[in-house]
Amino acid sequence: SMDNFYTATVYSKGAEVVRMYSTLLGIDGFRKGMDLYFERHDGTGVTCDDFRAAMADANDVDLEQFGLWYSTPGTPVVSFSHLYDDETGTFSLTLSQSSKSDQALHIPVSVGLLDKSTGEEVVPTQILELKKEKQTFEFPGLKGDVIPSILRDFSAPVKLVSESGENDEESLAFLAARDTDGFNRWEAGQVLYTDAIFQNMRDEVSETTLGYVHEAFSRTLGGEETTDYSIQAYALTLPSESTLAEEVDVVDPIAIHKSRGAVKKGIARKLYSEIKAKYDVLTEAMEAEGGEFKVDATSIGRRRLRNVLLDYLCSVKETAEEQKAAAKLAWNQFEKATGMTDRYSALSALASMDGEGAELRDRAIQNFFDDAKGDALVLNKWFTVQALADLPDVLDRVKELTQHPDFTLSNPNRCRSLISAFTMNSAAFHATSGEGYNFVGDTLMELDKLNPQISSRMGSSLIQWKRYDADRGALMKAELERVAAMKPISDDLSEILSSALK
Residue 358: which of 384, 324, 390 has the closest Cα?
Answer: 324
Give exposure, 78-88, as e/b (b: 16+ Cβ within 10 Å).
Answer: bbbebebeeee
Query: How far apart, in whole angstroms, are the C-alpha atoms of residue 245 and residue 252?
Result: 8
Length reported for the chain = 502
The pLDDT of residue 177: 84
Residue 494: which of 445, 427, 439 has the closest Cα?
Answer: 445
The pLDDT of residue 290: 81
**Residue 302, φ and ψ in degrees, nearest 5:** -60, -45
Residue 437: which of 456, 455, 422 has the closest Cα?
Answer: 422
The pLDDT of residue 228: 86
Query: How far apart, in whole angstroms, are the C-alpha atoms of residue 444 and residue 438?
Result: 10
The pLDDT of residue 2: 47
pTM here is 0.87
Contact 135, 80 (CB under 8 A): no
Q: How far apart are the first and last CA of the chain?
A: 17
What residues contact 38, with CB distance under 8 A and at least 6 apart? none
The sign of the torsion formed by the CA atoms of 227, 233, 236, 239 equals negative
Query: How far apart, in whole angstroms, are the C-alpha atoms of residue 167 and residue 225?
Result: 23
Residue 293's Cβ-count burial label (10 Å; 0-12, 13-18, 19+) is middle
How many CB atoms neighbour CB 7 within 10 A?
A: 11
The pLDDT of residue 315: 97
Residue 478: which of 435, 443, 448 has the closest Cα?
Answer: 435
Residue 266's Cβ-count burial label (10 Å; 0-12, 13-18, 19+) is middle
Contact 406, 371 (CB under 8 A): no
Report mean pLDDT in 10-residue bins for the chain, 502 residues: 59 92 97 98 94 98 96 95 96 97 97 94 97 97 96 96 92 90 92 96 95 93 77 94 94 97 97 97 91 88 96 97 98 95 97 97 98 97 98 97 97 96 96 96 95 92 94 96 95 93 90
